[in-house]
């Protein structure tokens, strides 16, 4: 460890001109040979940008990269490859009609003479590589039949076959079961022993603490520090990852603590323009209130598809003034469930009732016409039009109100936009293109549009994504406030903790089945986690008792 780092990134600064997001500020990273190195940080801390810069995929504004003692030129993926940087992306893709072998040798095919592919030699070389690294994979099979774990193995083998000395894995366990994950960590361990550097990029602290030898923490685009693994425990790590706050503060942004400045924004947002008929209720204590009318009801809804995940016999009831959190693994049904809720997928069987009436025509248009707010996961792709102006992004759901005889008077749309922006404390020119705004400001525009008018139902997916701490607190206050006014809120999230700490009821989606827990107070994070991964599907388990809640909170923060 006393020797020089094999890879050294210094002073990396990157601001994306498209959205003004400052992804990296003077960030640094040192990677040594023969180690497992964890690069940790929250969503949006700048981890991905940093490794994309290292891989030559993104050009930094400033900074240097030294690999094995020599400076490499930036934004040159081929040079990064030559220098031994191998990146395994979060979403591994392969040519499905090719076998694992054919995918593997793509780009570095062993040839005999003028272009004759030596398949046998390739297979032998890869067999040797697998024996050497302890990775087992059927490379004769077509990759169409590969599981997420097998694709991941394929990507690792590809990188190693291409001569990588530094293997970077972006959230490698995101789509894997616990058992699969453990298998991968033993592979990583083995690889590190052969002298490779293995860099694991993750926001899952718990699973990295054991295997990692060194940890680099990022926050808000900066490198907070580099620590030997023994120096930190989980709670210490968590508090370093979360800016200027104890980890506890992050867990419970309740509607009551309004000391931060964003509190005012939220109050303005929710008290602003609910011109409908908000039924004011006292407090937020309407957990499982059986008296409230059922707003949305799924009974036996199934979505079957030839490939990929499906949804099986989904049933639940959402009452007015209830916050229902549904969690699961995105690729294993949660995305599909979002598409179903958004109306782009039609169920094969089962019925959906809204306000007691059966939903006959299932499309985004009918849902929107019913006045449902929807904040999609893909904020930029589905939530806004980057080339349009802020104003044009704001008026989409209010066209009926704003147009007269089909004409949209500019004065009216302008006034509407200015007022909507005021509600979310965003003082900016509504006629400018929205891509000039920062990511956080864009989120506020989306919130202003979706929640600017009274809604019976709010569907919000991955509410924390792309938001900083203040933004998250504002978001939760808004949702809790809406709930207290009688709006039903449906939160889809792949992050357990946010769902645990706010929902009246929780649903866990696994293998296409939804298990509903009406009393989430008794569930612990690890219980929920193993349910997500299919440890047990008996369902309807209510937790031990509510007095344990403080302990659960504690455990959550430990694993933040």
Partner 1 sequence: MLSRKPPTSLFGSLIALAAAFLVAMLILGISGGGAGRLSTFFIGPFSNLFSFGNMLSNAGLLSLTGLGISLAFRSGTFNLGGEGQVYLGALAGYLVCILLPSTAGSGGALLALTAAGGGGLVLAAFSGFARMRWGTDELISSFLLSAAAIPLVDFLITGPLKDSNSYLITTQRVAEGFFLPRLLEPSNLSLELPIGILLAAAATFLLFRTRPGYELRITGLNRDFARYGGVATGLYTVIPMAAGGFFHGMAGGLALLGTHHALIKGFSSGLGWNGIAVALIAGNHPAMVVPAALVFAYLQAASKAAMLHANVGFELNAIIQAAVFFLITIRFLPGRGSTK
Binding site for partner 1 (CB under 8 A): 17-18, 58-59, 75, 342, 344, 364-365, 367-369, 374, 376, 378, 381-388, 392, 395-397, 399, 403, 406-408, 410
- The Cα-based distances of 33 to 50, 171, 518 in angstroms read 19, 20, 50
Q: Cβ of residue 58: shortest distance to partner 1, in angstroms?
A: 6
Nearer to partner 1, 250 or 379 (CB): 379
Closest CA to 273 of 405, 386, 415, 380: 415
Burial class (CB in 10 A: 0-12, 13-18, 19+), 288: exposed
Closest CA to 491 of 375, 401, 352: 375
DSSP string, 110-145: -EETTTEE-HHHHHHHHHHHHHHHT----TTSBGGG
Nearer to partner 1, 185 or 374 (CB): 374
59, 224 contact by CB (below 8 A): no
Bridge partners, 166 (sequence order): 85, 197
Q: Cβ of residue 99: shortest distance to partner 1, in angstroms?
A: 28
Separation of alpha carbons 139 and 44, rounded Å: 36
Nearer to partner 1, 22 or 258 (CB): 22
Q: Cβ of residue 282: shortest distance to partner 1, in angstroms?
A: 34
88, 155 contact by CB (below 8 A): yes
Q: Is 509 helix (H, G, I), strand (E, B) or coil?
A: strand
Contacts of residue 504, Cβ cutoff 8 Å, sequence gap at least 6: 286, 287, 288, 322, 323, 324, 483, 520
Give long-range contacts, CB 8 A cutoff, 24+ apart: 408-411: none
Give long-range contacts, CB 8 A cutoff, 24+ apart: 121-126: 125/161, 126/101, 126/157, 126/161
Q: Is 307 helix (H, G, I), strand (E, B) or coil?
A: coil
Q: Cβ of residue 377: shortest distance to partner 1, in angstroms?
A: 11
Q: Cβ of residue 18: shortest distance to partner 1, in angstroms?
A: 8
Q: Cβ of residue 166: shortest distance to partner 1, in angstroms?
A: 22
Q: Cβ of residue 295: shortest distance to partner 1, in angstroms?
A: 19
Bridge partners, 118 (sequence order): none
Q: Cβ of residue 401: shortest distance to partner 1, in angstroms?
A: 11
Q: Cβ of residue 396: shortest distance to partner 1, in angstroms?
A: 4
The gap from C-alpha 199 to its chain's centroid, in whole angstroms, comes to 20
Nearer to partner 1, 101 or 451 (CB): 451
Nearer to partner 1, 407 or 427 (CB): 407
Nearer to partner 1, 382 or 541 (CB): 382
Nearer to partner 1, 280 or 411 (CB): 411
Closest CA to 495 of 305, 306, 330: 330
Q: Which phi and psi angles does 315 have, rounded to 5°?
A: -135, 130
Separation of alpha carbons 537 and 514, rounded Å: 9
Nearer to partner 1, 241 or 457 (CB): 457
User: What strands lie across the sheet with 357-358, from one edge to the other?
Assistant: 311-319, 294-303, 349-354, 357-358
Q: Cβ of residue 365: shortest distance to partner 1, in angstroms?
A: 5
Rg of the chain in Å (alpha carbons): 25
Nearer to partner 1, 364 or 518 (CB): 364
Q: Is 52 helix (H, G, I), strand (E, B) or coil?
A: helix
DSSP-derived letter for residue 16 is E
Separation of alpha carbons 437 and 21, rounded Å: 9
Q: Cβ of residue 89: shortest distance to partner 1, in angstroms?
A: 18
Nearer to partner 1, 258 or 385 (CB): 385
Q: Cβ of residue 406: shortest distance to partner 1, in angstroms?
A: 5
Nearer to partner 1, 24 or 557 (CB): 24
Nearer to partner 1, 387 or 538 (CB): 387
Nearer to partner 1, 392 or 555 (CB): 392
Q: Cβ of residue 383: shortest distance to partner 1, in angstroms?
A: 7
Nearer to partner 1, 396 or 535 (CB): 396
Nearer to partner 1, 53 or 238 (CB): 53
Could you give the count of Cα atoms lying within 13 Å of 11 in the half-sphere of its Cβ? 5
Closest CA to 248 of 47, 546, 501: 501
Q: Cβ of residue 27: shortest distance to partner 1, in angstroms?
A: 17
486, 279 contact by CB (below 8 A): yes
Q: Cβ of residue 388: shortest distance to partner 1, in angstroms?
A: 5
Separation of alpha carbons 454 and 481, rounded Å: 12
With residue 51 as reference, give the H or E element that holds it.
Answer: helix 47-54
Residue count of the chain, please give it: 560
25, 222 contact by CB (below 8 A): yes
DSSP H helices, 134-167, are 148-161
């Amino acid at each position: 460890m006393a020797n020089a780092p094999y890879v050294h990134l210094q002073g990396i600064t990157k601001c994306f001109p498209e959205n003004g997001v400052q992804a990296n500020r003077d960030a640094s990273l040192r990677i040594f040979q023969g180690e497992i190195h964890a690069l940790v940080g929250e969503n949006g801390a700048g981890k991905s940008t940093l490794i994309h810069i290292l891989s030559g995929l993104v050009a930094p504004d400033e900074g240097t990269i030294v690999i094995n003692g020599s400076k490499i030129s930036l934004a040159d993926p081929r040079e990064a490859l030559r220098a031994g940087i191998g990146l395994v992306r979060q979403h591994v893709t392969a040519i499905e009609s090719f076998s694992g072998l054919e995918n593997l040798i793509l780009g570095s095919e062993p040839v005999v003479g003028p272009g004759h592919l030596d398949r046998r030699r390739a297979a032998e070389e890869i067999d040797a590589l697998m024996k050497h690294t302890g990775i087992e994979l059927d490379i004769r099979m077509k990759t169409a039949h590969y599981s997420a774990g097998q694709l991941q193995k394929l990507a690792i083998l590809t990188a190693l076959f291409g001569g990588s000395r530094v293997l970077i894995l972006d959230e490698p366990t995101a789509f894997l079961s616990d058992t699969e994950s453990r298998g991968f960590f033993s592979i990583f361990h083995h690889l590190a022993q052969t002298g490779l550097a293995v860099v694991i990029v993750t926001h899952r602290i718990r699973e990295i603490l054991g295997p990692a030898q060194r940890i680099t923490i990022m926050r808000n685009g900066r490198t907070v520090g580099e620590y030997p693994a023994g120096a930190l425990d989980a709670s210490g790590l968590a508090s370093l990852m979360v800016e200027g706050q104890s980890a506890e503060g992050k867990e419970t942004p309740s509607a009551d603590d309004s000391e931060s400045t964003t509190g005012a924004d939220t109050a303005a947002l929710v008290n602003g323009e609910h011109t409908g008929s908000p039924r004011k209720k006292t407090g937020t204590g309407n957990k499982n209130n059986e008296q409230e009318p059922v707003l949305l009801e799924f009974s036996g809804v199934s979505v079957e598809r030839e490939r990929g995940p499906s949804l099986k016999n989904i049933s639940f009831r959402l009452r007015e003034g209830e916050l229902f959190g549904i969690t699961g693994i995105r690729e294993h049904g949660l995305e599909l469930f979002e598409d179903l809720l958004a109306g782009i997928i039609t169920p094969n069987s089962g019925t959906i009732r809204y306000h007691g009436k059966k939903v006959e025509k299932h499309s985004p248009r009918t849902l929107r016409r019913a006045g449902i707010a929807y904040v999609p996961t893909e904020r930029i792709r589905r939530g806004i039009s980057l080339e349009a102006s802020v104003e044009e992004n704001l008026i989409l759901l209010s066209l009926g109100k704003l147009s007269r005889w089909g004409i949209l008077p500019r004065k009216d749309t302008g006034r509407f936009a200015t007022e909507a922006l005021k509600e979310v404390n965003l003082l900016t020119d509504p006629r400018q293109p929205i891509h000039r705004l920062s990511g956080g400001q864009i989120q506020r525009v989306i919130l202003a549009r979706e929640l600017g008018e009274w809604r019976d139902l709010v569907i919000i997916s991955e509410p924390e994504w792309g938001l900083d701490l203040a933004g998250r607190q504002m978001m939760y206050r808004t949702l809790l406030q809406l709930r207290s006014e009688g709006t039903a809120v449906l939160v889809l999230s792949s992050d357990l903790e946010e769902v645990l700490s706010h929902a009246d009821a929780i649903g866990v989606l696994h293998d296409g089945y939804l298990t509903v827990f009406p009393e989430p107070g008794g569930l612990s994070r690890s219980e929920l986690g193993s349910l997500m991964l299919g440890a047990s599907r008996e369902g309807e388990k209510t937790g031990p008792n509510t007095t344990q809640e403080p302990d659960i909170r504690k455990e959550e923060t430990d694993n933040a």
